[in-house]
Structure 1
């Protein structure tokens, strides 16, 4: 048995299904799918995923069946383990291309090559393997139609930073039917933003963040740029100083773009409420609880992933002149809507009022207790702290406010247009993460 697969079985047998799945994901590309199917089936059974249990059993019984490989890959995508789907669907594509489609006497027939190709492209996209998805779809262009096939090519080209290819292919597509009007409009807006932002390279985090999400990123992490963070944070123990610095940069962006909110909309969670009160006082604006559809509101969130999901869903469509500001945006599990302005991108950000791990001046870890003060008192603390930017490690490119305001002014024409689409991919700017 393969060493990695053996390790995955050992973890499962020891009562660590999460560890077993991590090991199985890591091993998937180097194994025939039929070999990992039994363990995938056991893990699926423990999770109550009957469709994946059935597909895994069928694949174990017929390892080279195109339908069995396809069904297993499809079930893996549906259950959020696209890493396991990729090798199965690659094999299914090879089989389906080598054998003519036929229909069984009982049950459905073998999937068509095009059907398998599209599912494989989706699986690669889910894993942010956008370059592979582009190569795959280009290699099998004769199998594809405009919608959704070549739309997938355009989308993955954008996520891989290949703007010229995305523009070329999108410009050649025929008019979409009604089902694909929204995705087509999303691509048009993305390409328009790219024209304004003109991302310099695959390290231009602010340019690519704006191009893909429509949001302005106001600060870049001053640590670990050369080590692969490229402006993002992995783990951040946030501070009141950082919150104040974010609000100062928000004020600078509003001035640079000529935007004048009428009020601050307060979200109900304690952190967002506190940050909203601080923003209202800093900007000299009235504050009131958030009401969907309020024109001219500056909606302030600390972390949208910690907000009421139903409330966040209301923010997908922008009210007239509404601006959504989020302090800490998660880049590995993006929120359901993309903020119009984000202070920072972090995999994990612990708010300054939450309990968490901190470090002494000697670098020793210590437990930092939660700050139980009211939102009004937390707002006082945010505004009381100096807004000096963190100097960082000295090896990261400078990020002066003038660079941000110049960028914001340059993209102002395409900013705050269309819906706040969720973008699940980190895009062409890669950063180190954990977990």
Structure 2
């Protein structure tokens, strides 16, 4: 066993709290709550998360109390480290649904009061969902049917059932959910739209749990233009972990976009250019290849193709306009990050990747028998980059030869099957990669 606490503190001494947190994640179940909490407090102090530091210290003072466990788990979820919250909330739930705590003198509880078990259960389900442990969230909610509330508990059950690929359970749970107010109804409608998309994506049954294109459509409403031709047998299932992008890949993506638009019967009248250089270059290339006029993006423009290289690079001020789709507007993104999804789900994505180096970014080239060669970033304007995209070979990457083929005919057939449910509803952010699992970097 490695000395995990020493590694965490070494990273903190080096001024790298993010590396310290990664050490805790890599530790898995190696550390118990009593050992992990003081380390979490030190990391939280280093980044100024006073609420988390306070909750971690309180847990150290009362390691067996449901109230302290819940407060710590709640703070972990709020600060984006749900993996730390799960064991604390699971233990808090076990204590909360068990025998009542012993009392001290004069009948006062010895420990911090805990919320109702339903509150702890819901927070545990949220933590598991944030960790993409959807089947576990479904299981823990099902095991506590006797205390489930309709909202949010049964809604969380329906949502996580979809994300786990259990569509029958999701439909049954959603159908039994009573109507709520506007916010609750909006949440239920998002699950219902996903189930409706699943009905057309699977056609005769639920999509298989390696059918990445179908599940991408079910969860996001978007169409996936290409599947990675590398590492399918090694667990990538059509996604990239790291991609050194190329002009050829950009051109192939635009050709696949044109195939999708044709199969769906969509005829944009213009291309809208987003302001960052990569998106502008790709948009200018799309306009030239399709013979459409290009113009700066303006929210509410109908019948336009909005082109983005990477929506995570989007100016936040543009997000509200893109979430509310104009009539006939299609949002295209070349690279969609599947581990840190963008704030807006694209209507078409060329590919899913975890880390990407754009063709115009600085790069390190490794040649057999030679030292690595550092290549600087390409400083040319978007117009010149667009010309290189248009001139690139549009043929697909042949890949490793051990990955299922992804022919044009299969993509066109899928688009024709689902086009009635495409371009409907808002472009919600979807934080989960769903039931199709892929290997990823830490």
Q: TM-score, normalised by structure 2?
A: 0.94
Gap change, CA 1:9 and 1:345, over 3 Å in 2: same
Structure 1 residue 104 displacement after superposition: 6.7
Gap change, CA 1:374 and 1:13, over 3 Å in 2: closer
Structure 1 residue 27 displacement after superposition: 2.9
Task: Please tell me whether the aligned partners of residues 237 and 358 of structure 1 are also in contact (alpha carbons under 8 angstroms).
Answer: no
Gap change, CA 1:386 and 1:276, over 3 Å in 2: same
Q: How far does the alpha carbon of each residue in 1:220-251 deviate from its partner, in whole angstroms, 9 at most, with x for none?
A: 01011111111111111111111111111111
Q: Give the structure 2 partner of residue 49 of structure 1.
A: 49
Structure 1 residue 166 displacement after superposition: 0.9
Q: How far does the alpha carbon of each residue in 1:95-140 deviate from its partner, in whole angstroms, 9 at most, with x for none?
A: 1112448997999832111111111111111111111111100001
Q: How far does the alpha carbon of each residue in 1:180-209 deviate from its partner, in whole angstroms, 9 at most, with x for none?
A: 011111011100100111153111000100
Match among 137, 142, 149 for residue 146 of structure 2: 142
Structure 1 residue 328 displacement after superposition: 0.6
Structure 1 residue 178 displacement after superposition: 2.5
Tell me if 1:312 matches 2:316.
no
Task: Please tell me whether the aligned partners of residues 65 and 111 of structure 2 are also in contact (alpha carbons under 8 angstroms).
Answer: no
Tell me if 1:253 matches 2:260.
yes
Size of the aligned set, in residue pairs, is 435
Structure 1 residue 282 displacement after superposition: 1.1
Structure 1 residue 364 displacement after superposition: 6.7
- Counterpart CA distance in 2 for 1:46 and 1:354 is 32
Q: Give the structure 2 partner of residue 385 of structure 1.
A: 392
Q: Give the structure 1 partner of residue 242 of structure 2.
A: 235
Gap change, CA 1:336 and 1:100, over 3 Å in 2: same
Q: How far does the alpha carbon of each residue in 1:130-183 deviate from its partner, in whole angstroms, 9 at most, with x for none?
A: 111111000011110111101111111111111111112111211122330111
Tell me if 1:31 matches 2:31.
yes
Q: TM-score, normalised by structure 1?
A: 0.95
Gap change, CA 1:67 and 1:275, over 3 Å in 2: same
More deviation, 103-112/63-72: 103-112
More deviation, 395-404/303-312: 303-312
Tell me if 1:124 matches 2:128.
yes
Match among 178, 188, 192 for residue 188 of structure 1: 192
Tell me if 1:153 matches 2:157.
yes
- Counterpart CA distance in 1 for 2:440 and 2:109 is 50
- Counterpart CA distance in 2 for 1:7 and 1:377 is 48
Q: How far does the alpha carbon of each residue in 1:1-49 deviate from its partner, in whole angstroms, 9 at most, with x for none?
A: 9843443334434544222211212335343322211111111011111
Task: Please tell me whether the aligned partners of residues 28 and 36 of structure 1 are also in contact (alpha carbons under 8 angstroms).
Answer: no
Match among 207, 214, 226 for residue 219 of structure 1: 226
Structure 1 residue 354 displacement after superposition: 1.4
Tell me if 1:328 matches 2:332.
no
Match among 276, 280, 286 for residue 269 of structure 1: 276
Task: Please tell me whether the aligned partners of residues 304 and 312 of structure 1 are also in contact (alpha carbons under 8 angstroms).
Answer: no
- Partner of 1:412: helix, strand, or coil? helix
More deviation, 401-410/171-180: 171-180
Match among 278, 283, 289 for residue 282 of structure 1: 289
Structure 1 residue 363 displacement after superposition: 8.8
Structure 1 residue 310 displacement after superposition: 1.6
- Counterpart CA distance in 1 for 2:6 and 2:136 is 28
- Partner of 1:60: helix, strand, or coil? helix
- Partner of 1:264: helix, strand, or coil? strand
- Counterpart CA distance in 1 for 2:148 and 2:97 is 14
Task: Please tell me whether the aligned partners of residues 154 and 169 of structure 1 are also in contact (alpha carbons under 8 angstroms).
Answer: yes
Task: Please tell me whether the aligned partners of residues 132 and 432 of structure 2 are also in contact (alpha carbons under 8 angstroms).
Answer: yes
